[in-house]
Structure formats: C-alpha cells, structure tokens
Amino acid sequence: MKLTRRAALAGAASLPAVSAARAQAPSEVKIAMLVPLSGPWARQGILEQMGARLAIEDVNAAGGIKSMGGAKLKLVEYDTQDSSEKAKDGAQRMLAAEPDLAGGFGCWLSSFTLAATEVTERAELPWLTLSYSDLITGRGFKYVFQSSPTADRQATEELPMVMELAEKATGKKPTKMAIIGDNTASSVSFMKPIREHIAKDLGLTIVTDEVYTPPLTDATTMVQHVRSARPDFVLFQSTNVPDDKLLIDKFAEFNLRCDKLPKIGGGGHWAVPELLKVAGAENLEGMLVGLANWPGKKQAELEKRFMAKTGEPWFGHDSIFAYVHVLILKEAIERAGSADRRKVAQAIRELNMTTGPADFFPDGTLKYDEKGRRVGAKLCIVQWRNGKPTPVYPASIAAADVMWPKV
C-alpha cells in the first residue's frame, strides 16, 4: 500500500514539471524585416514585404518550426523611411519593442543597411541582407550575413561580361564607356574598382563620369554630356525607380534609346513592374540589368503562386531575396532548436547546403564565409524584352539568349 502511494505521489510530483515544460515552449518565434516602406525606395521595400509574407505563410502551413513543437514564425515589420539616420532609429525602435527577436533581414539600400547593422550587431542579432556594399561585411561584424555578391565582385564580373557580349554582337570590343551613378554606399562601392583599374584593364576609356545625390531632379545636363562624349555604352548606378525613370525618359528625349545606345543598369530596382509603368516598354526594350538574384526554373510554381496572390506581373529580385531570407532564418532556428539569437547566428554560420533554401540562388549554394559573405554568390543578368525582364545569365536561370542592342 505504501509503495503504491509513493508511486502515485511521485507521479503526481512529476506532472507540474511536464506542464511547465510545455508552457515554456513558445507558440511563435519572431523574426524582423526592416526595409523602406515609405519614401523614394518604398517600392523595393514593398516587394520585399510581399515575398516575406508569402514565405511566412508557406513555412507555417508546412508545420512551422518542428524542432520547437511546431512554433509558428511571426514577421514583425519596421520602416527605414528615407534616410540612414531614420533607418538606424528604426533598428533601435525595433530592438526596444521586440526583445525576443530570433533574427531579421533588411534594409535594401546599402546606406540604410550600414547604419542599421551598427545597431543589430551590438544586440548580437543575426541579420541577413541583399544589400551590395562591400563595407557591410568588411567591418569585422559577426552577426551580419550578406547573401548577394558584393558590389566589388559585381563590378569585377559585370564589365568583362558587357565587353564579351558587345564583341560577340558587333565583332569589335567597345573602347569608350560612360558612367552615371548616385553617391549612395552601394554605388560608390561598385564604381570604385571600375574607376581604379577594371575599365583600364579592359582597354576602356571612361569618357564621362557623372555623380549625383539622390533623388535626381533633372538629368538633362548629364545626358548632354553623354551624347557629346559618344560612348559605346552607358553604365548606370542609380538606386531607385524615380531616378531610373528620369534617366530613361531623358535619353529617349534625346533620341538615345537602347537600340541606339546600349545601356546597363545595376540593381533590382531596374527590373520592377513600377519602372515599366512609368518609363514604358518602348524606352526599356533591350536594357540590360545586372543584379544579385533572379528566380530560375525551379521557382516556376512559386512564381505563379506569388503572382496570383499579389497581382504582380512577375516574381523578381527583391521578393525572392525576402522569401529566401525567411527560409534561411527558419532553417537556422530549426537547427538551433531555439529562438536564442546567438544560437541562431551560430546555426547560420554552420549552414552548408545545396538544396532547400540553396535552390533560390543561381549558383545553388548556401554557405557564408568568415566575413559573413555567401560563398559562390554570382551576378545575374536580365534583359527587358517586350515589357518584361527576361533572365539571360547564368545558364541555370536563363530563359533566352542575350540580345546586344544595335548601335
């Protein structure tokens, strides 16, 4: 009788511990998105928002974080607004309001990312970004992970590619180029090696080099300089759709569309539906765009779902990055079995995948080096064809051959 009572008491004593353990298991895990949702760069932030929200739905529909009892992912959204100072303030507000964040991603514009990650790094919050500037992962930070090829790498890859395409189309290499770009962090980082040695190494003379502070109000003088210099092509490093439109419109006004003067833009903003609406298919036809990612054949079904849900005409650079950044954070939380941000950061550092989230990158690799840069990150090229950006490079995502504009 005593043994039975003891057993019963022991069993009863164990019940609160089980209940407590269950009570401690979180029902949700928070991750953050800090992107421009207002101001000149809002369109890019909204496209990220669309991709992130769809990814959250997909993760939770598939069972959430299984190693944490099916805990659901929750996305908290913050706005950088229109300046680096406001982006930094946004990061501070985010961390104060959400002390239990497991990780996050943003901020699209490199200048914003540089400012915000000063805050997230001090908080030891793992932060994923599509921003291009080399400085982002060149400061010795341990909690920042850059999924795109850096601006320096893009500059190194893009110009030789342009030369090859031009020679194949015309039988001769270009000898003169023009540059028009703003003075934000990614543009400065991208243009630095081109100005210092890449153009010269390729036998190119920079015949005009125009730099402006965004937002651009009038492109007339810059376009006049380009027309007078008679380059073989123009390389753009603007960073927002309104500036892109002004440049495209002004070149068209001077009868210098892409079929007369080849143009290469840099960044996902050059391949968004908004640009088509404001600049027009005719003015964009043949425009080449170098960017850090674009959906390939493996994302065909996802693209259909995205388009049906959002009403967008395609699934592009900004949306796919946000989608995959949610998947990467989910994978890291799953492996860590915890929402502890330090454990999540360590799980990101240990990722080495060629499937799953890796399928969302053209090179098919998901691994970050000691600086936080994604190993194997490659440049993509899309070209405006009949009112839609069409992937033409690399072969893993290409849907058509490159067409070099006639000169």
pLDDT by residue (tens digit) across 205-259?
Answer: 999 999 999 999 999 999 999 999 999 999 999 999 999 999 999 999 999 999 8
Phi, psi of 174, rounded to the nearest 5 degrees: -60, 150
Range in 161-175, 241-255, 275-289, 379-393 with the lowest mean pLDDT: 161-175
Across 155-165, average pLDDT: 86
Q: Who's near 151: CB < 8 A, 6+ residues apart?
A: 110, 132, 133, 134, 186, 187, 189, 190
Token pair listed for 262: 């080849």
CA 51 to CA 316: how far, in whole Å?
A: 9
CA 283 to CA 110: how far, in whole Å?
A: 28
Going by pLDDT thresholds of 50, 70 and 90, the confidence category of residue 50 is very high
In the predicted model, is pLDDT for residue 4 greater than 60? no
- Determine the pLDDT at residue 398: 87
Inter-CA distances, 158 with 24, 68, 381, 404, Å:
51, 43, 9, 14
All structural domains of the chain with their residue ranges: 26-149+296-360, 152-291+380-393
Cβ atoms of 68 and 26 closer than 8 Å? yes
Question: DSSP characters for 277-336?
Answer: HHH-HHHHTT-EEEES----GGGHHHHHHHHHHH--S---HHHHHHHHHHHHHHHHHHHH
- Determine the pLDDT at residue 205: 98
Going by pLDDT thresholds of 50, 70 and 90, the confidence category of residue 16 is very low
CA 230 to CA 208: how far, in whole Å?
A: 9
Angle between helix 185-193 and helix 110-122 axes, rounded to 10 deg: 110
Strand 380-385 relative to strand 288-291: parallel, antiparallel, unpaired?
A: antiparallel
CA 377 to CA 292: how far, in whole Å?
A: 8
- Determine the pLDDT at residue 189: 87
Q: Which of 63, 55, 68, 61 minimizes the C-alpha distance to 26?
A: 68
Cβ atoms of 105 and 61 closer than 8 Å? no
Q: Which of 231, 232, 259, 235 minimizes the C-alpha distance to 405?
A: 259
Across 175-194, average pLDDT: 93
Phi, psi of 73, rounded to the nearest 5 degrees: -80, 135
In the predicted model, is pLDDT for residue 352 greater than 80? yes
Domains 26-149+296-360 and 152-291+380-393 share a fold: yes
Percentage of residues in the chain having pLDDT higher than 90: 79
Q: Is the peptide bond before 380 cis (omega within 30 degrees of 0)?
A: no
Across 129-157, average pLDDT: 94
In the predicted model, is pLDDT for residue 20 greater than 50? no
Architecture of the domain whose range is 152-291+380-393:
3-Layer(aba) Sandwich (3.40)
CA 46 to CA 38: how far, in whole Å?
A: 9
CA 263 to CA 193: how far, in whole Å?
A: 19
Q: Who's near 42: CB < 8 A, 6+ residues apart?
A: 36
- Determine the pLDDT at residue 116: 98
Identify the burial level of 203 via C-beta atoms within 10 angstroms of its C-beta, where 0-12 means exposed, 13-18 middle and 19 or more buried.
exposed
Q: Which of 364, 363, 331 minimizes the C-alpha distance to 350?
A: 331
Q: Who's near 249: CB < 8 A, 6+ residues apart?
A: 219, 279, 283
Across 294-314, average pLDDT: 94
Looking at 1.10.10.10, 3.40.50.2300, 3.40.50.510, 3.40.50.10310, the CATH number of the domain 26-149+296-360 comes to 3.40.50.2300
Pick from 4-18, 371-385, 392-406 the range whose average pLDDT is largest. Answer: 371-385
Going by pLDDT thresholds of 50, 70 and 90, the confidence category of residue 7 is very low
Cβ atoms of 152 and 192 closer than 8 Å? yes
Across 295-299, average pLDDT: 88
- Determine the pLDDT at residue 312: 96
- The predicted model scores a pTM of 0.85
Going by pLDDT thresholds of 50, 70 and 90, the confidence category of residue 280 is very high
- Determine the pLDDT at residue 127: 98
Residue pointed to by tokens 């109000």: 217
- Determine the pLDDT at residue 296: 85
Model pLDDT for residues 84-139, shown as the tens digit of each residue: 999 999 999 999 999 999 999 999 999 999 999 999 999 999 999 999 999 999 99
pLDDT: which is higher, 329 or 40: 329
Share the mean pLDDT of the chain: 91
Percentage of residues in the chain having pLDDT higher than 70: 93
